[in-house]
Amino acid sequence: MRIEEAEARKAYIQRVRQSFDTPGRKYEFEKEAAVKGEEASEFMFMKIRFLIAALIFAAYVLFDQTGMKIYEYSTGEVAEKIAKDYDYIRAKEEAVQVFKSLEKSFQ
């Protein structure tokens, strides 16, 4: 390789390096989460689900401490129903009954 070719190659490498050093250009690790493939809406959905679960748990603890009942069920009965091997057809029927009673109360 001649000296002219080596100098031309060095100049080319320098130009390529400078092309990566443009001001305001963000590198991959500096880009936003959505650009990397992580959707912000998915993360927000997980936050909301966690918040709802935490609120349900807090309500359960509050009802347990105060002795209040939820639709005539105490927290002990709710815990027993959760632990029990449950028939899902019967659970569906009970859910329909609860929704019908809620519907009647709002009319």
Geometric angle at alpha carbon 104, from 99 and 107, rounded to 5°: 125
Please say whether the beta carbons of 63 and 75 come within 8 A: yes
**pTM of the predicted model as reported, rounded to 2 decimal places:** 0.40
CA dihedral 83, 60, 94, 103 (to 10 degrees): -170
What pLDDT does 51 receive? 95
Tens digit of pLDDT for each residue in 91-104? 888 889 988 888 87
